[in-house]
Structure 1
Amino acid sequence: MRVVRFFTIMNGRMHILILDEEECKEEGICGKNGKCFNTIGSYTCTCDVGFITSSGVNYTADEGLECIDINECYQNICGPKAECINSMGSYNCKCPVGFQTPTGGDWLHQKETCEDEDECKEERICGKNGKCFNAIGSYTCTCDVGFITSSGSVNYTADEGLTCKDINECYQNICGPKAKCINSIGSYKCKCPVGFQTPTGGDWLHQNETCEDEDECKEEGICGKNGKCFNAIGSYTCMCDNGFITLSGSVNYTADEGLGCKDINECYQNICGPKAECINSIGSYKCKCPVGFQTPTGGDWLHQNETCEDEDECKEEGFCGENGKCFNAIGSYTCTCDVGFITSSGSVNYTADEGLECKDINECHQNICGPKAECINSIGSYNCKCPVGFKTPTGGDWLHQNETCEASSQAITASSDQEHHLYCVFYRPT
Structure 2
Amino acid sequence: MEIAIKLSQFLLSLSLLIILHELGHFIPAKLFKTRVEKFYLFFDVKYSLLKKKIGETEYGIGWLPLGGYVKISGMIDESMDKEQMALPPQPWEFRSKPAWQRLIIMLGGVTVNFILAFIIYIGMTYAYGDFYIKNSELKDGVWVANPTVEKAGILTGDKIVAVDGDKIERFEPSINEKILMGHTVTVNRNGQNQDIKLPVNFIDNFMKSDKKSLLMLRTPFVVGSVSDSSANKTVLLPKDIVTSLDGKQMKYLDEVMAYLDANKNKTVSATVLRDEKQTPVTLKISEKGKLGVALGALKEENLEKMGYYKFSREQYGFFESFPIGIDRGINQISGYGKQLKAIFNPKTGAYKGVGGFKAIFDIFPKTWSWEVFWSITALLSIMLGVMNLLPIPALDGGHVMFLLYEIVSGKKPSDKFMEHAQMVGFVLLIALLLFANGNDIYKAVVGK
Bin the TM-score by the shorter chain: under 0.3
Give the helix-richer structure, 1 or 2.
2
TM-score (norm 1): 0.14
Q: Per chain length, whose mean CA-contact separation is higher, i.e. which structure has more relative contact order (CA < 8 Å, sep 6+)? A: 2
For the pair shown, the structure with the greater C-alpha radius of gyration is: 1
Give the strand-richer structure, 1 or 2.
1
